[in-house]
């Protein structure tokens, strides 16, 4: 197998009007990651010498998302062939006769293609007597609108015909064009420069180069992939469909790693989730980006987690929300209706119910009572609360940051703590109980009399 350089051109200049969005189409997310990021990570594993992303005019957000790769602008959107031509200026050493180089063209809105599929194309291209040009094809259940891949008896690609231009016999062809291609760099460069836009749309159609190549007697082939793998995304409905496909893959990968998903269909994962083994995830759990879950942890139902690290044998939920910056130590517990943000809970620390722990550090084996909140925001700045090892915070306590609760300290229920508490101290901050005998009955009688007086006055007004 020959060693050749590889350049990848990613076409990401589409306007995506059917998405009905201010956001460029390729930046819409699947499993916590933009479509473009999925596409780039898929081909980065091929270790190409160069990746060039073709973007539309003014698409600064797409250029930023494409970093560190080069971007070029397609000012006039004149079709896929024209888009590829814009990238040639950034591909010195891949296009001249004699360059031992290949060029792959892919799409920024086709994020489900597996790296193994790209690898198969590259391996075939680099094999002894590998084809000069090959494309990715598929057999859809409903081939309707797709371009058809025409082949001769030996399996060479004769050409690709658009559905609108196809005859009845050509429409009967089951093999359809996915748009992805790979070929000898100088050959791809030469063939694309032969394209014209002499058609009703006035566009340069990339697939036409297969017709040119076959006419020259070059070896042209097709590699097949599944329909769901080559799914392009042009609308919110198609985005939702792709999300389902990707979630199915992520769930299967998680279970293969040793994670128990009690109801896989209601578990939502992100592509960067890191799992240990023997983790149990109950139904209706959402895991957003940047989450790590260690061995033997349990995530109970209806929990929402993002940007968090969960330690070994920790128990989260049900109905817990862990936000960015949360770190739960080994054996820690975050229970129902507890929210954490930028909070570190040490080994064995517990916040079992109805609490908010934000911008805080909680020591090992500390216990946070129900209804406790760390008052971390004063309207202008965020402040930190520190709770020492083994401390006990009674129910319905407000810790007004910045404040430190010492190791082993006890804070009585219902306290509002504005000053630090020393190690092993007992802090109780409450108003005096005022108990006036019979005052409740007197209050009710007085209010009843006022109500009756108002009612009588209204009746007199109505008579008048």
Q: Who contacts 92 (Cβ-Cβ below 8 Å, separation ≥6)?
A: none
Binding-site entries: 11-14, 25, 74, 79-80, 109, 147, 162, 177, 234, 323, 341, 356, 367, 370, 376-377, 395, 413, 430
Please give the helix or strand (H or E) that residue 439 lies within, else none.
Answer: helix 439-463
User: Of 191, 76, 66, 60, whose CA–CA distance to 135 is shortest?
Assistant: 191
Q: Using CA atoms, how far apart are residues 77 and 74, in angstroms rounded to an integer?
A: 6
| Residue 455 placed within a domain | no
Residue 353 among the catalytic residues: yes
Binding-site entries for Mg(2+): 109, 234
User: Under a CB-based contact definition with an 8 Å cutoff, are residues 166 and 150 in contact?
Assistant: no
User: Of 203, 151, 202, 204, whose CA–CA distance to 174 is shortest?
Assistant: 151
Catalytic pick among 28, 69, 156, 353: 353
- The reply to whether 324 and 184 lie within a common domain is no
- The reply to whether 218 and 241 lie within a common domain is no
| In the block, residue with structure tokens 């329909």 | 227
| Residue 350 placed within a domain | yes
| Residue 447 placed within a domain | no
- The reply to whether 206 and 294 lie within a common domain is no
- The reply to whether 76 and 164 lie within a common domain is yes
User: Of 300, 310, 298, whose CA–CA distance to 273 is shortest?
Assistant: 310
Please give the helix or strand (H or E) that residue 105 lies within, else none.
Answer: strand 101-107
- The reply to whether 413 and 284 lie within a common domain is yes
- The reply to whether 166 and 250 lie within a common domain is no
| Residue 381 placed within a domain | yes
- The reply to whether 24 and 136 lie within a common domain is yes
Binding-site entries for UDP-N-acetyl-alpha-D-glucosamine: 11-14, 25, 74, 79-80, 147, 162, 177, 234, 323, 341, 356, 367
Q: In CATH, what number is assigned to the domain containing residue 320?
A: 2.160.10.10
| Residue 403 placed within a domain | yes
DSSP string, 358-410: EEEEE-TT-EEPTT-EEE-B-SS-B--EEE-TT-EE-SS-EEESSEEE-TT-E
- The reply to whether 287 and 407 lie within a common domain is yes
User: Under a CB-based contact definition with an 8 Å cutoff, are residues 176 and 148 in contact?
Assistant: yes
Q: In the chain, what's the furthest Cα-to-Cα distance?
A: 106
- The reply to whether 163 and 282 lie within a common domain is no
What range defines the domain where residue 212 resides? Answer: 5-224
CA dihedral 163, 11, 237, 174 (to 10 degrees): 30
- The reply to whether 255 and 282 lie within a common domain is yes
Cis before 119 (ω within 30): no
Q: In CATH, what number is assigned to the domain containing residue 117?
A: 3.90.550.10
| Residue 443 placed within a domain | no
**The domain boundary residue, chosen from 198, 224, 250:** 224
Counted domains in the chain? 2
| Residue 305 placed within a domain | yes
Pairing relationship of beta strands 426-427 and 267-268 according to DSSP bridges: unpaired
| Residue 438 placed within a domain | no
- The reply to whether 205 and 261 lie within a common domain is no
Radius of gyration of the chain (CA): 32
DSSP 8-state assignment for residue 433: P
- The reply to whether 213 and 328 lie within a common domain is no
**The domain boundary residue, chosen from 200, 224, 248:** 224
Per-residue pLDDT of the chain (464 residues; tens, 9 = 90+): 457 999 999 999 988 889 999 999 999 999 999 999 999 999 999 999 999 999 999 999 999 999 999 999 999 989 999 999 999 999 988 998 888 999 999 999 999 999 999 999 999 999 988 999 999 999 999 988 899 999 999 999 999 998 888 899 999 999 999 999 999 999 999 999 999 988 777 889 999 999 999 999 999 999 999 999 999 999 999 999 999 999 999 999 999 999 999 999 999 999 999 999 999 999 999 999 999 999 999 999 999 999 999 999 999 999 999 999 999 999 999 999 999 999 999 999 999 999 999 999 999 999 999 999 999 999 999 999 999 999 999 999 999 999 999 999 999 999 999 999 999 999 999 888 888 899 889 989 998 999 899 888 888 787 76
């Amino acid at each position: 197998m020959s060693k050749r350089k590889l350049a990848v051109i990613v076409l990401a200049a589409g306007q995506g009007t059917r998405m009905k969005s201010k956001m460029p189409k390729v930046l819409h997310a699947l499993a916590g990651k933009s479509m473009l990021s999925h596409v780039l990570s898929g081909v980065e594993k091929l270790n190409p010498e160069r990746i060039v992303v073709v973007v539309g005019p003014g698409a600064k957000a797409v250029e930023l998302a494409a970093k560190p790769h080069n971007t070029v602008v397609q000012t006039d959107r004149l079709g896929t062939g024209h888009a590829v031509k814009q990238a040639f200026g950034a591909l010195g050493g891949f296009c001249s006769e004699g360059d031992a180089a290949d060029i792959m063209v892919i799409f920024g809105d086709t994020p489900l293609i597996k790296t193994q599929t790209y690898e198969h194309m590259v391996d075939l291209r680099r094999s002894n007597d590998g084809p000069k040009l090959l494309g990715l094809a598929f057999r859809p259940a409903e081939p309707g609108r797709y371009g058809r891949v025409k082949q001769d008896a030996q399996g060479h690609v004769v050409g690709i015909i658009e559905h609108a231009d196809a005859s009845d016999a050509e429409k009967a062809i089951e093999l359809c064009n996915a748009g992805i291609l790979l070929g000898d760099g100088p050959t791809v460069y030469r063939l694309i420069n032969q394209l014209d836009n002499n058609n009703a749309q006035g566009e340069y159609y990339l697939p036409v180069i297969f017709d040119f190549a076959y006419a020259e007697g070059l070896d042209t082939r097709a590699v097949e992939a599944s329909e769901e793998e080559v799914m392009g995304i042009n609308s919110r409905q198609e985005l939702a469909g792709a999300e389902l496909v990707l979630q199915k893959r992520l769930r299967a990968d998680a279970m293969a790693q040793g994670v128990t998903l009690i109801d896989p269909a209601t578990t939502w994962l992100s592509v960067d989730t890191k799992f240990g083994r023997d983790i149990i995830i109950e139904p209706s759990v959402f895991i957003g980006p940047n989450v790590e879950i260690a061995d033997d942890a349990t995530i109970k139902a209806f929990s929402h987690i993002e940007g968090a690290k969960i330690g070994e044998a920790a128990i989260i939920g049900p109905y817990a929300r862990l936000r960015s910056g949360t770190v739960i130590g080994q054996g820690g517990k975050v229970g129902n209706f507890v929210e954490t943000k930028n909070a570190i809970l040490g080994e064995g620390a517990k916040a079992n119910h109805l609490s908010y722990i934000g911008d805080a550090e909680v020591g090992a084996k500390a216990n946070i009572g129900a209804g406790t909140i760390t008052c971390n925001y004063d309207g202008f700045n965020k402040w930190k609360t520190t709770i020492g090892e083994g401390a006990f915070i009674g129910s319905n306590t407000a810790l007004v940051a910045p404040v430190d609760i010492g190791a082993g300290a006890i804070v009585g229920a219902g306290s509002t703590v504005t000053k630090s508490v020393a190690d092993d101290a007992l802090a109780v901050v409450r108003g005096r109980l005022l108990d006036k005998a019979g005052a409740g009955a007197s209050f009710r009688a007085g209010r009843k009399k006022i109500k009756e007086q108002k009612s009588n006055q209204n009746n007199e007004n109505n008579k008048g």
